[in-house]
A and B are shown apart, each in its own frame.
Chain A
Amino acid sequence: MMTNRFANTWAILRLDLRHDWLKITLWIGGLAGLMVIAAGKFGGIYSTQQALVSIAETLKTPAMVALFGPFTATPPYAVAVIYGAEMMVFMGLFAAMMNVYFAVHATRAEEDSGTAELILARAVGRQSQLAAAMLELVLINVAAGCLEALGLQAANMAGSNAAGDWLFGLGLAAFGLMFGAAALLAAQVMSSARGATTLSYGWLGVTFIARMATDVANPDWTWWTFFGWIEKMGLYTTNRWLPVGLMLGFSVVVLAIAVTVAATRDIGAGIVSPRPGRRTARAWLQGPLTLLVRLERTSTLIWWLGLFILGAAYGSIFGTVGDLVKSNPMLAKLLGNSGVTAANHAVILSLANTLTVIFAVVATIPAVTTLLRLNTEERQGRLELLHAAPVSRLRLFSATVIQALVSGTAALALGVLGMAVAGNAVMTSPISLARFMRGFVGYWPALLVVCGLAALLVGCWPRWQRLIWLVPVYGVLSKYLGPMLNFPDWAQRLTPYGWVNAVPQHAVAWPPVAGMVALGVAFLVIAGIGYRRRDLTMN
């Protein structure tokens, strides 16, 4: 019975690996490379005990705890300890993203494209594809973990030890697998690859926010947030393996549920069977723009809600972050009341700057997804009927751009708004909403430029359109880790996110804003021209 259900799993695994080897290599190489390069940089930046103490003090502030996780080490500090504290949460996010990608790719995406049907008609078990996907994830994570551990050993940071290096690598592997397992479950529950990816990211977001909130409030509670286990390993200090066991155990439980769910549903269907819908279209469904609005309605609302919640979650810690007197009672005497308020505000606004970058990057995701959709739908053959209708290409293109910009713009605005509202609710002396909104005004042009670049690829070089994802990934890397890694100026300015001045601390600098808007619009225009001139079928 067992062997029947899983017949030929190995053959499918081999096929999956042969398809994906390049992507797997790029992901693993990218992650391990990032870790090793960062390890090398850390040694250079934090070469004196003074530098270490100063960064340790910074990492202990609530703002940094919210971004990087709690810092629990005691002096004297070693480079490796700082490295572990700064990199863990960040690398965990990337490992989780990799796992979600491969999990959905190997299961739900194959069902959507019909490949699964071809394979299932062969002598394979009903659950062989799921089993092969699980094995693929295990292989990918173990390979990534080992490579990272070996890389760390080679980097040989001061204060590092083999136990810590391997704990870091394998801990990340277990962490990634935990979210990969969740994505496999999501792939069984949802009725499309897109839905499965959205649900997986939703889970990642919820656990991330929970970990941030508990870290700032009471780190003991972080044990209950799943995401937080990765922080509990005490890298290069206590080197605890218990969290790795918890992550693996949880993965096994989730996988078991996924297998059970898979056994009860049909291939190509979710567990919720689709309900009948409308017999006729609503009156407003009239053209390409309203069609896009109708198609993206649910996912747009989820993104907007998600960003508002993310913003509010960060805003809710502003009370703790902006209370410098609590951690340093001398300050009140030194600065006086108004001075303390100013200092508090400075800390909050600086954190708000980092957060706004994060919102801007996250808000690019729905916008860019919408833009890429123009070609994705084309490949799926869904636009052929539209092209034969009296809808000009320019109109179709413009509709896509409008939907993308509206969903991205609103997402960014809602992130900032959530942060401002929740922040002001908990702060003793509020900061005006207009001040926070400087962040929105400052970063919106960056969003526009990234959308322009995405449109350019979509319109002129459709084969390469997925390269656009490098921009937000590098953007978050350079703005989140860049300051810690002393990235040179030019390296921070490789993406549009790096061209924005320090808002909301300072007033919006208009020349770069105007320049970026002009550039973004120019990209969109060129993209539109390219889209009008080229062939539309690519397969």
Chain B
Amino acid sequence: MTEVLTVDHLQKRFGQFQALKDISLTIHAGEVFGFIGPNGAGKSTTIRTLLGILRPTAGHATIFGLDAWRDAVKIHRRLAYVPGDVNLWPNLTGGEVIDFLLRLNGQQHSARTDALIQQFELDPAKKARTYSKGNRQKVALIAAFSSDAELYIFDEPTSGLDPLMEEVFQQQVLALKQAGKSVLLSSHILSEVERMCDRIAIIRQGTIIEVGSLSEMRQLSRSTVHVTTQQPLAAIADWPTVHQFTASTPTQAVFAVDAEAMGQVMATLSQLGIVALTTTPPTLEDLFLRYYNSEAGHDDESLR
């Protein structure tokens, strides 16, 4: 697979403050790549560096094999971007902004643009000053989706959209995916990331702490087990790979199991005579919370 975007040990410092400490990631052609992390982790900073708005302090970022800082203009011809906070010129109408953005990329207002305006239910004749946050976001989204690019970068594009519009957004991203486009999606809406992204990077305090597909990440983490057995199962509670063991009766319990110990646990449980069993794989939210909470230090061993 060809690499569309490569970030190699990227660092960014604002004065004394090191916003990005060590960012490395790769996006392949045709891939939808999720980018998640707590507020202030450095997602937007990374994206702005990729766009050549910020100059890297150290490290490299290449897009389409070109240097993100030096060859920004060449790169931008083949890319579409939607920022999280869309601010428009108050005196222009949404329609004017959409056309203007398209023309900057050498493209034209097309039937597709009109269809998108319809789908997102935007009134393009209104002055940008009168648009709500969600409507401003729609303007940038319509411009991005109706331009023909190879890489689409979205930085929290749906933070102001209502659930119906959010659905339209997801459909459009899936359509891009089908068309073989690459997408970088930074988002706090984990269900969105879970549904659409092939691979995910988790960033915290300027460092990428995990990259992989959701299933890979799941394998690195624990599943929750609800079980009822014929014989008492208290012995399992002491296993180092079993966590948060709570028993409601001697033969009924809920606990979390490290992925690598799952087979062993199952074998033991079946010897005890399973009456009922459900295992739930960790949701992205579980993963996310676990990674973030480990920052406090008290739960460090819970990482893997």
Identify the A interface with B (CB < 8 A): 191-192, 274, 276-282, 285-287, 291, 294-295, 380-382, 384-392, 533-537
Closest to B129 in A: A274
- Mask, B152-182, CB within 8 Å of A = 1, is 0100000000000000000000000000000
For the A-B complex with A281-B95, A385-B101 known, give 4 more contacts whose Cβ atoms are closer than 8 Å. Answer: A276-B126, A285-B100, A384-B53, A388-B80
Sorting the interface of chain B by its residue count into under 10, 10 to 19, 20 to 34 or 35 or more gives: 35 or more
CA distance A382 to B88 in the complex (A): 5
List of A residues within 8 angstroms of B73 by Cβ: 390-392
Which of A281, A295, A390 meets B77, CB within 8 Å? A390
- Is B51 in the interface zone, CB < 8 Å from A? yes
Nearest CB of chain A from residue B90's CB, rounded to whole Å: 7
Query: Please, which residue of chain B has its CB at the minimum distance from the CB of A378?
Result: B53
8 Å CB contact of A535 from B54, B72, B92, B99: B54
| B92:A294 contact, CB within 8 angstroms | yes
Q: Are A277 and B126 interface neighbours, CB within 8 A?
A: yes
Q: Contact string, B22-56, partner A, CB cutoff 8 A, digits 1/0?
A: 00000000000000000000000000100111110
B98: which A residues are within 8 A, CB to CB? 281
A537 touches B53 (CB 8 A): yes
**What mask results when residues 82 to 119 of chain B are scored 1 for a CB within 8 Å of chain A, else 0?**
01011111111101111111011110010000000000
CB-contacts of B135-149 with A (<8 A): 140, 143
* A contact residues around B83 at 8 Å (CB): 381, 384-385, 388
B80, B87, B98, B123 — most chain A CB neighbours (10 Å): B87
Measured between beta carbons, the chain B residues less than 8 angstroms from A387 are: 51-53
User: Which B residues lie within 8 Å of A537 (CB)?
Assistant: 48, 53-54
Chain B nearest CB: distance from A306 CB in Å? 20
B129-A533 in contact (CB<8A): no
Task: State the CA gap A192–B130 with chains docked (Å).
Answer: 12
| A277 with B127: CB separation less than 8 A | yes
The answer on a CB contact under 8 Å between A278 and B96 is yes
Contact indicator B101/A280 (Cβ below 8 Å): no
Instruction: Name which residue of chain A comes closest to B69, CB basis.
Output: A533
Determine the distance from Cα of A535 to Cα of B72 in the docked complex, in whole angstroms.
13
- B residues 177-222 near A (Cβ < 8 Å) are none
Closest B residue to A377 using CB positions: B89
CA distance A18 to B101 in the complex (A): 41
- CB<8 Å pairs between A and B, sample of 12: A281-B98, A281-B99, A285-B99, A286-B103, A287-B104, A291-B89, A384-B53, A384-B87, A385-B86, A385-B88, A389-B101, A533-B55
Q: Does B124 count as interface, using CB distance less than 8 angstroms? A: yes
Q: Is B76 an interface residue (CB 8 A)?
A: yes
B120 contacts A by Cβ under 8 Å:
no
- Say whether chain A's binding surface is mostly helix, strand, loop, or mixed: loop
Considering the chains assembled together, what is the distance between the CA atoms of A389 and B105 in angstroms?
6
Contacting A536 at CB < 8 Å: which of B53, B92, B153? Answer: B53
Determine how close the nearest CB of chain B comes to the CB of A375; give it in whole angstroms: 13
Separation of A391 and B53 alpha carbons in the complex (Å): 12
CA distance A189 to B101 in the complex (A): 32
Residue of A with least CB distance to B91? A295
Proximity string of chain B (277-292) to chain A, C-beta cutoff 8 Å, 1 when within and 0 when not = 0000000000000000
From residue A187, how far is it (CB to closest CB) to chain B in Å? 16
Q: Report which of B72, B80, B87 forms a contact with A392, defined as CB distance below 8 A.
A: B72
- Indicate if B125 sits at the interface (CB-CB under 8 A): yes
Contacts of B91 in A (CB 8 A): 295
Q: How far is the CA of A388 from the CA of B126 in the complex (A)?
A: 24
B74 within 8 A of A: yes
A537, B83: Cα distance in complex, Å: 13
* A382 and B96 form a contact (CB under 8 A): no
Residues in chain A near residue B104, CB distance under 8 A:
287, 386, 389-391
Chain A residues whose CB sits within 8 angstroms of the CB of B109 once the complex forms: 280
Is the CB–CB distance between B90 and A192 below 8 Å? yes
A-chain residues with CB within 8 Å of residue B88 when the two chains form the complex: 382, 385
Question: In the complex the two chains form, is A276's CB within 8 Å of B125's CB?
Answer: yes
A534 and B95 CA atoms in complex are apart in Å by 32
Instruction: Provide the residues of chain B in CB contact with A191, threshold 8 Å.
Output: 129
B256 on the A face (CB < 8 A): no
B4, CB-defined interface residue at 8 Å: no
Is the pair B86, A389 in contact by a Cβ cutoff of 8 Å? Answer: no
Contact A281 B53, CB 8 Å, known A390-B73, A390-B76: no
Q: Which of B76, B92, B130, B153 contacts A389 (CB 8 A)?
A: B76
**Interface status of B79 (Cβ within 8 A of chain A):** yes
A382 near B89 (CB under 8 angstroms)? Answer: yes
Closest to B125 in A: A276
Shortest distance in angstroms between A289's beta carbon and chain B's nearest beta carbon?
12
Knowing A389-B76, A390-B74, say if A291 contacts B100 (CB, 8 Å).
yes
Residues of A within 8 A of B81 (CB): 385, 388
Q: Are B125 and A277 in contact (CB under 8 A)?
A: yes
Q: In the bound complex, what is the Cα–Cα distance between A90 and B48 (angstroms)?
A: 48
Most B C-beta atoms less than 10 A away, residue of A277, A380, A389, A534: A389
A388-B51 contact in complex given A277-B125, A278-B125, A381-B83, C-beta closer than 8 Å: yes
Q: A294-B92, A382-B87, A537-B53 are in contact. Are A281 and B100 (CB under 8 A)?
A: yes
Question: How far apart sit A390 and B53, CA to CA, in the bound complex (Å)?
Answer: 12
B82 CB to closest chain A CB (Å) equals 8
B154 to chain A, nearest CB (A): 11
A285→B96 CA distance, assembly (Å): 8
Give Cα A291–Cα B99 distance, bound, in whole angstroms: 12
Residue of A nearest to B147 (CB): A389
For A281, the chain B residues whose CB sits under 8 A away are: 95-100, 103
Question: CB-CB < 8 A to A384: which residues of B?
Answer: 53, 83, 85, 87
Interfacial chain B residues near A390, Cβ < 8 Å: 73-74, 76-77, 104-106
Q: What 3 A-B pairs have minimum CB-CB distances, sorted nearest first?
A: A281-B99, A388-B81, A381-B87
